[in-house]
Amino acid sequence: MPPVADVLTPSQLNTLARSLLEDTFPAVLVEGELGNVSRPASGHLYFTLKDARAQVRCAMFKPKSQWLRFQPREGMQVLARGRLTLYEARGDYQLILDSLEEAGEGALRRAFDELKTRLQAEGLFDATRKRPLPAWIGRLGVITSPGGAAVRDVLSVLGRRFPLLEIDILPVLVQGSGAAPQIVDMLQRAGASGRYDALLLTRGGGSLEDLWAFNEEPVVRAVAASPVPVVAAIGHETDSSLAEFAADLRAPTPSAAAELLVPDRIDLDARLRMLQRRHAAVFEHRLRQSAQRADRAFLRLHAQRPQARMQALTARRDEVWRRLHTAWAICLERRQARVRHAQADLRRHHPQQQLAALQARLLATRPRLQAALPRRLRDDRARLQALVRALSAVSPLATVARGYAILQHDDGRVVRGIDDARPGDALRARVADGELRVRVEPQTD
């Protein structure tokens, strides 16, 4: 028999056992099947958690039992979190639960559907709030795992289609408990940097649990709030995530997303060549038109210059003098020819008195011819002087002769107002009897 001091009562034994259990197992996470589910009027929840070989009693007290997002049922697979203890009154070994959730993909699918419904009601997935991608993307930020197959597919397609694109790989975890915070942080940093024209959020395929980071509410809201357009390609064509619904553009695969982001360089090269040909043709056509307009303007300007008009009148006068002298020479030559012919006839057929008469006629005609030439010259000179006076009346030189001056730059440009000259400019002042050199001084008050 043991000493009396070592004898314990049932209460003492249960108390020691409870202390030992609670100190050894402060918190445990147990997955199992629900059985003997009971919810009495008190609102507490009682059940057993079992597998094929054993079971353990569990209790969840108010108000935690009322916070459950699902209705516990017999046979449901659940994940229970709590502390291990012992109910001293009956000596029952049990779990006191702090949380209870469905285990496996069923719980995730329920959470997925509930969050999708709530965010959709807020308008987070509406097509009206989605922005179009830029026509040309110069720099792209790819938010993904740097060692995954998705990033290799994306880089391969982008390098083949558009090698000029600048790409930054923004590394994050894409799976596990730390993935969602990293993705949110990278989205916020990339959007605030102002470096990127668009962002690609991507990863390869997997189960719903593997892709769950992209269904976390902070990630979905960060995608919707990004100041830079976001393209999301999560998993394979059959996979879907809430981040894709919130993105500005959703692609079925990472490779498809890369094709949507950039043009094909072959098509782009053909289009550029076509635009170059059109631009060259338009430029050449406009150049010809401009050259023709410049030639016509130069001819009109040159024809309206007083010097040009004076030269034209001078040329006209010289042409009149030349024609007059030519006509006089022809007339004189014809008369002399007739005289010679008459003299020859006289010598052959007429007596001496006819020759004398013809000589007298010739002597009488010569003074008239000699008198007619100066009169013709005086008349032409008078007409020319009238033309010169008419030209001088509209010539700037006539204005100069009345005491005015014409200011010109060294290149011949006329100063028409104070805006045509600046302080320090050297000018030529043309006056009636010559030119003066002047310099523009600053205006003083």
Q: What is the pLDDT of residue 202?
A: 92
Strands 426-431 and 434-439: antiparallel
Q: In angstroms, how far is CA 280 from the centroid of its own chain? A: 23
Peptide bond into 63 cis (omega under 30): yes
Of 2-16, 26-40, 162-176, the one with minimum mean pLDDT is 2-16
Q: For the chain, what percent of residues have pLDDT higher than 90?
A: 18
Q: What is the pLDDT of residue 208?
A: 75
Average pLDDT over residues 178-192: 93
According to DSSP, residue 31 is labeled: E
Residue that is written with structure tokens 């995730």 in the block: 108
Q: Which residues contact 140 (CB under 8 A, 6 or more apart)?
A: 158, 165, 166, 167, 168, 196, 197, 198, 199, 200, 261
Q: What is the pLDDT of residue 212?
A: 86
Reported confidence tier of residue 3, pLDDT bands at 50, 70, 90 = low
Q: What is the pLDDT of residue 193?
A: 92
- Count of beta carbons in the 10 Å neighbourhood of residue 292: 10
CB under 8 A, 24+ apart: contacts of 21-29: 21/84, 21/85, 21/86, 21/93, 22/83, 22/84, 22/85, 24/84, 25/83, 25/84, 26/83, 27/81, 27/82, 27/83, 27/98, 28/81, 28/82, 28/83, 28/84, 28/95, 29/79, 29/80, 29/81
Q: What is the pLDDT of residue 303?
A: 66
* DSSP calls for 105-172: HHHHHHHHHHHHHHHHHTTTT-GGGPPPPPSS-SEEEEEE-TTSHHHHHHHHHHHHH-TT-EEEEEE-
Tell me which of 444 and 442 has the higher pLDDT. Answer: 442
The tens digit of pLDDT for each residue in 256-295 reads 888 888 887 777 777 788 888 888 888 888 888 888 888 7
Q: Which residues contact 181 (CB under 8 A, 6 or more apart)?
A: 218
Q: Is the pLDDT of residue 351 over 70?
A: no
Residue that is written with structure tokens 């020691």 in the block: 16
SS3 of residue 394 by DSSP: helix
Reported confidence tier of residue 414, pLDDT bands at 50, 70, 90 = confident
d(CA 392, CA 386): 10
Q: What is the pLDDT of residue 341?
A: 80
- Count of beta carbons in the 10 Å neighbourhood of residue 372: 12
Which fold would CATH assign to domain 125-263? Rossmann fold (3.40.50)
The tens digit of pLDDT for each residue in 229-242 reads 999 998 877 778 89
d(CA 265, CA 273): 12
Q: What is the pLDDT of residue 46?
A: 92
| Domain spanning 8-103: CATH superfamily | Nucleic acid-binding proteins (2.40.50.140)
- Count of beta carbons in the 10 Å neighbourhood of residue 219: 24
The tens digit of pLDDT for each residue in 332-348 reads 888 888 878 876 765 66
Q: Is the pLDDT of residue 172 over 60?
A: yes
- At 34, give phi and psi (nearest 5°): -75, 140
The tens digit of pLDDT for each residue in 28-50 reads 888 888 989 998 988 899 999 99
User: Which two structure tokens, joined as six digits, stand for 336?
Assistant: 């002399």
Tell me which of 404 and 436 has the higher pLDDT. Answer: 436
The tens digit of pLDDT for each residue in 95-121 reads 989 888 877 666 677 778 888 889 989
Average pLDDT over residues 395-399: 67
Q: Is the pLDDT of residue 5 over 60?
A: no
Closest CA to 145 of 171, 168, 167: 171
**174-178, 208-212, 392-396 — most confident range:** 174-178
Q: What is the pLDDT of residue 1?
A: 44
* DSSP calls for 319-379: HHHHHHHHHHHHHHHHHHHHHHHHHHHHHHHS-HHHHHHHHHHHHHHHHHHHHHHHHHHHH
Tell me which of 394 and 279 has the higher pLDDT. Answer: 279
Q: What is the pLDDT of residue 304?
A: 64
Residue that is written with structure tokens 């430029």 in the block: 283
CA distances from 381 to 279, 310, 318, 320, 330 (A): 60, 15, 11, 10, 22
8-103 matches 125-263 in fold? no
Q: What is the pLDDT of residue 278?
A: 87
Q: Is the pLDDT of residue 6 over 70?
A: yes
CB contact at 8 A, 358 and 343: yes
Provide the mean pLDDT of the chain: 83
What is the distance in angstroms between the CA of the first residue and the CA of the last residue of the chain? 129
User: Which two structure tokens, joined as six digits, stand for 228?
Assistant: 């830079």
Amino acid, res. 32: G
**163-167, 170-174, 240-244, 371-375 — most confident range:** 170-174
Domains in the chain: boundaries: 8-103, 125-263, 306-310+326-393, 401-439
Reported confidence tier of residue 198, pLDDT bands at 50, 70, 90 = very high
According to DSSP, residue 442 is labeled: P
Reported confidence tier of residue 169, pLDDT bands at 50, 70, 90 = very high
d(CA 160, CA 262): 10
d(CA 254, CA 148): 11
Tell me which of 313 and 217 has the higher pLDDT. Answer: 217
* DSSP calls for 219-254: HHHHHHH-SS-EEEEESSTT---HHHHHSSEE-SSH
Residue that is written with structure tokens 């170059």 in the block: 276
Is the pTM higher than 0.85? The answer reads no
Average pLDDT over residues 19-26: 76
Q: Is the pLDDT of residue 2 over 60?
A: no
